[in-house]
Amino acid sequence: MNPFSRRSFLAGVAGSPLAAYAAKKKIPIGLELYSVRNELKQDLKGTVTAVAKMGYQCVEFFSPYFDWTPAYAKEVRKLLDDLGITCSSTHNSFKSFEPSNLPKAIELNSILGCKHVVMASAGKVEGLDGWKKVADRLNEAAAKMKSAKLRAGFHNHQVEFTPIQGARPIEVLAKNTVKDVMLQLDVGTCIQAGSDPVAWIKKNPGRINCIHLKDYSKDPTKGYKVLFGEGSANWKEIFKAAESKGGVEYYLIEQEGSAYPPIETVKRCLENYKKLRA
């Protein structure tokens, strides 16, 4: 018999970095519901149900959720539970992070079963000192959320990767926030700003706990109007960096439009994702 048996081979592979990476490929894939915002506004329950039936495993509600009552949030949570999906995070305006509004944000996110409360927009910010103040607000929120087992996060757009006064605002936020603050990476806007998402992930190990899988084409006639996997992003390298260095916990497909209706668009994006990850 060959001394290098199949069992010993499998045991060796199981302990290898390759196996560790392969094991992490089963990370939940979700949808940023802004991708179907008009449908969601007209029929939240029907839209979330349709998204779950496509095969999405989690969702991310965006800022209008902040106007919900706790009673309605409980209805939405029951819907998610019945469908077997989760809400891992919400997208919020700066308003949700104001001291007077933070208790409501914590209450609603706790009801929904979220892990992260993400600041999706800092509003108008003046200079690098202004971004340091945004970092301070994130740190303050992170401290108050901890007892509720929630984490604060920040979602970048193009502006945070665009240098001002010799530095990129996203670097100021990363440097001046506690490690517990998630840096939710929007791949498309990162690429549009001329930055390398893989390099950013590697530079911030353990903090890229969620990634918005928004593709972007450098073809000016297409831009964001491409399906996931059909743009300029090097997804295989992004996934590899996210799962070996970034500390990613879940992915969210985000789409800003395509040649197809929104519901068909997000369905096609999920199909492309599954093919890429097969």
DSSP secondary structure string for all residues of the chain: --SS-HHHHHHHHHTSHHHHHHHTT---EEEEGGGGHHHHHH-HHHHHHHHHHHT--EEEE-GGGGG--HHHHHHHHHHHHHHT-EEEEEEE-GGGGSTTTHHHHHHHHHHHT-SEEEE----S--HHHHHHHHHHHHHHHHHHHGGGT-EEEEE--GGGGS-BTTB-HHHHHHHHS-TTSEEEEEHHHHHHTT--HHHHHHHSTT---EEEE----SSTTTTT-S-TTSSS--HHHHHHHIIIII---EEEE-----SS-HHHHHHHHHHHHHHHH-
Reply yes or no on whether the pLDDT at 85 is more than 80: yes
Beta-carbon neighbour count of residue 155 at 10 Å?
26
Tokens in use for 34? 């802004």
Reply yes or no on whether the pLDDT at 82 is more than 70: yes
The pLDDT score that the predictor gives to residue 53 is 98
Reply yes or no on whether the pLDDT at 5 is more than 70: no
pTM above 0.85, yes or no: yes
Region 11-40 average pLDDT: 70
Lowest-pLDDT range, 11-15, 95-99, 168-172, 177-181?
Answer: 11-15
Pairing of strands 29-32, 250-253: parallel
Per-residue pLDDT of 153-162, as tens digits, reads 999 999 999 9
The percent of residues in the chain predicted with pLDDT above 90, rounded, is 90
The pLDDT score that the predictor gives to residue 20 is 46
The structural domains of the chain, with segments of one domain joined by +, span 15-277
Confidence of residue 25 (pLDDT cuts 50, 70, 90): low
Q: Which residues pair with 213 in a beta bridge?
A: 253
Reply yes or no on whether the pLDDT at 22 is more than 80: no
Q: Which residues pair with 154 in a beta bridge?
A: 119, 183
Q: For domain 15-277, give the CATH number.
A: 3.20.20.150
Per-residue pLDDT of 49-60, as tens digits, reads 999 999 999 999
Query: 100 φ, ψ to 5°?
Result: -75, -25
Per-residue pLDDT of 198-221, as tens digits, reads 999 999 999 999 999 999 999 989
Confidence of residue 257 (pLDDT cuts 50, 70, 90): confident
Reply yes or no on whether the pLDDT at 10 is more than 80: no
Q: Which residues pair with 164 in a beta bridge?
A: 167
Buried b (16+ CB within 10 A) or exposed e, 190-219: bbbbebebbebbeebeebbbbbbbbbbbee
Confidence of residue 134 (pLDDT cuts 50, 70, 90): very high
Region 115-126 average pLDDT: 96
Confidence of residue 4 (pLDDT cuts 50, 70, 90): very low
The pLDDT score that the predictor gives to residue 7 is 42
Region 248-259 average pLDDT: 95
The pLDDT score that the predictor gives to residue 266 is 98
Q: Any idea of the CA torsion for 169, 172, 173, 178, to the nearest 10 degrees?
A: 170
Confidence of residue 70 (pLDDT cuts 50, 70, 90): very high
Mean pLDDT computed over every residue of the chain: 92
